[in-house]
Structure 1
Amino acid sequence: MSEEKLMSKKKPAYPVNPKLDAYLDKYSRKIEIPIFYEDLLRFSGSVVVEDAEGNDTLWVRVFYAEFDREEIDLSLKKVYSILHSDGGDRILEYLNIDAVDYCTFGNSKPFRIKVRNILNDNYTYFYVKKTDASRVYGLELEHILSPYNLNFLVYKDTLIEEHIAGIPGDVFIKDFLPDLSNREKAQLAKEFVKFNERCMIRLLGDMRSYNYVIVPVHDFDHVVYKIRAIDFDQQCFEGKLKVYRPQFFKENFQMVELVRNRLQKNSVDQYKIEERSIVAKRILSSEGRIMQLEDIAKLDNISLPENIERLKGEIYDLTLDMDFKKSTTMGEVLALALDFVKRNYQDVSMKQIIEKKF
């Protein structure tokens, strides 16, 4: 299936409604910041950012007029302090804003801020984007249901995201994958199966290779590879179930081939069950918070009617759960999907307890 047919042309941005805003406030995601996304659009010039091989990265480095630059730099340092520290001013004198880059590709058109500690030259990044309810739901679900915590802030129409470190998937596939040992390839194949399952369960779409990173973790005498999503724009929007399964994007063809060549079907099924069980445990351990988010999403407008109709039908065909056919919003579809995973885990656990007892 071609990419044009698999994905919608463009996803609209959805506003954060008052209930979601209150939820963000409750969990310390809503914090007043000294600069807005619109402020960063006042740049007066830019140059193309190229990679080490001289290729266009689709980012441009922007420059501001002298009377704007000092104010913008100070505000961005304060944002860094709020995001990564206690929000105080005492660390600001040790920080420098080395670069402000603007992405010309994709829906979110983010700014990437490079912040350097002048005492030791350590640096990190954070991102400034326009607030979109889909992205907020995606970030919060990633924080709760994935193996990784996420730090982000929302204030009015501006979203601040921490940088997720790792090797971009497309770069890894091209430059690193061919040199992996057979053992490492098998381990990465396992991780891709789990990542694929996790995205489908929580309806995170568009995980093409450049929308996730691969993180090498050194563990005693070998390297373990983890996969992390880095783009959450396509949370609960598309109507095609395939969009929520990374395996169906042509950019991931080599990862799919890795699974096909390195794992037997029984192993793939085992890893899927493991991932569903882990997600179910996370749902149960954070059930109060998840239910609050679900209740807000159920009443929210975060997709198109035709997408909702198609997705609930396709998930019904997969699960044969009649509740999906009765759903009327994308939030209801999401809540039912998470509940389906939780119920199946609990049913299996209860069955095992009964079999053990009797």
Structure 2
Amino acid sequence: MSAIDDNDQALTEPNKPSRKKPMFPVQESLRSYLKQHGREVKLPVSYKDLLHFTYSVPLLDKNGRDTYWETVLYDIREFEFIREGLVKMYAILKTEGDLTFTKHLDVARIDYCSFGNSNPFRIRIVNKFNDNYDHYYIKIADASRIYGLELEHLLSPNRITYLTHHNTLVEEHIPGIPGDVFISKHLNEPSTNKIRLAKEFVKFNERCFVRLLGDMRSYNFVVDITPDIEDFQYRIRAIDFDQQSYEGRKNLYLPQFFKENKELVSLCTKHLNQDSVEQYQMEERTMMAFRVASTRFRLMELLNIMARDKISTEEKLNQLRSELSEYFKSSAFLKCTSMGQLVKRQLKQTLQKNLALISKNLGKFED
């Protein structure tokens, strides 16, 4: 992959994801995988239960601006059932169902977002003793999103907690400053280490491309800041996995090509030279290769299921395999008949050199 580019042509409007991605059902093979690895569990409340609200009010931020979320309210008898179930669900998500501490937990607010693909509910759980609060999300179980969450868990430096039950998907809250907020309010603060941030954006860009996670515009990731010796370290984390291996354009899997990320791209071109970019890309590929090797049996099980699943259209599949084939100068991509096969081929194509270096000690990544 070439160095990050911030020219105007690279950040044009054609590099824009589909306005509305369809939901893909969870097939039985994927359901079995989720059960085997502890992701599919019985939940006390479903997504459909939460749709029975009586009315809603717009949720505004502290400056009075629309957040695209609505706070929903329920009939009192309906809410008692939902409230009890949501507190239990939080315990299942956080403590494997230990209800010992739920007596001092309550549901402070339920928000609903009709913007975007997943139409999520955001649940705010509050500790009645000290007013500390936490969030989690309830969404429709979409197969492509589940593949995205699982690949993030296996291949990224981040662990992901999520659960499914029939048509319901529950996700933990991923902490961090939303990317668009960070760019507008924190990017140019004197305390921001722009070189380290640029390095992290290169690595994030590489992670997304290697596992074909699309639509990483600034509001679909967060920036996690950790104080370090004399300075700060940064981690960019994806929070939206709807566009896992769905789009046909190669550039939609590279965050550098979105105009919403232009300031981060400019940061990279200003502070990093070609050698530095290639070094950070190699570092990320090496770490991903170690993750592939250490999770290879579970990963191959997932990819084999994904290879048989339909999570995009024939048109997008044909476009992506053609563009990847041209980009890598490899006809192997043209033999792929599903998005899952393309992800598998992309991992081999991008990580094969790194995997070869560690295969003697950790085993080979088999086709």
**Same fold judged by TM-score > 0.5?**
yes
Within a 5 Å distance, the mapping from 1:64-75 to structure 2 comes to 64-75=74-85
Within a 5 Å distance, the mapping from 1:230-269 to structure 2 comes to 230-269=239-278
- Cα offset, 1:192, TM superposition: 0.3
Match of 1:49 in 2: 59
Match of 2:40 in 1: 30
The one-character-per-residue Cα deviations of 1:121-172 (angstroms, maximum 9, x if unpaired) are 2211000000000000000000010101000000000000000000000000
- Cα offset, 1:180, TM superposition: 3.8
Match of 1:288 in 2: 297
Q: Is 1:213 the counterpart of 2:222 in the alignment?
A: yes
Counterpart contact for 1:203–1:235, Cα < 8 Å:
yes
SS in 2 for 1:269: helix
Match of 1:356 in 2: none
Counterpart contact for 1:204–1:235, Cα < 8 Å:
yes
- CA RMSD between the two structures: 1.5
Match of 1:355 in 2: none
Match of 2:105 in 1: 95
Count, aligned residues: 350
- 5+ residue gaps, structure 1: 352-358
The one-character-per-residue Cα deviations of 1:47-80 (angstroms, maximum 9, x if unpaired) are 1111121110000111101111111100000100
C-alpha distance in 2 between matches for 1:170 and 1:191: 16
C-alpha distance in 1 between matches for 2:274 and 2:357: 21
C-alpha distance in 1 between matches for 2:164 and 2:131: 28
Counterpart contact for 2:15–2:258, Cα < 8 Å:
no
- Cα offset, 1:120, TM superposition: 2.3
The one-character-per-residue Cα deviations of 1:183-242 (angstroms, maximum 9, x if unpaired) are x00100000000001000000000000000001101132111110000000001001011
C-alpha distance in 2 between matches for 1:185 and 1:215: 14
Amino acid at match of 1:161: E
SS in 1 for 2:98: coil
SS in 1 for 2:35: helix
Match of 1:10 in 2: 20
C-alpha distance in 2 between matches for 1:102 and 1:17: 27
SS in 2 for 1:177: coil
Counterpart selection for 1:190 from 199, 213, 216: 199
C-alpha distance in 1 between matches for 2:234 and 2:351: 27
The 3 A distance-change label for structure 1 pair 21 and 53 is same
Within a 5 Å distance, the mapping from 1:106-145 to structure 2 comes to 106-145=116-155
The one-character-per-residue Cα deviations of 1:18-66 (angstroms, maximum 9, x if unpaired) are 0000000000000000111111111111111111211100001111011
C-alpha distance in 2 between matches for 1:224 and 1:89: 36
TM-score by length of 1: 0.95
C-alpha distance in 1 between matches for 2:286 and 2:339: 23
The worse-fitting range, judged by mean Cα deviation, of 342-351 and 260-269 is 342-351
TM-score by length of 2: 0.93
Counterpart selection for 1:202 from 211, 217, 225: 211
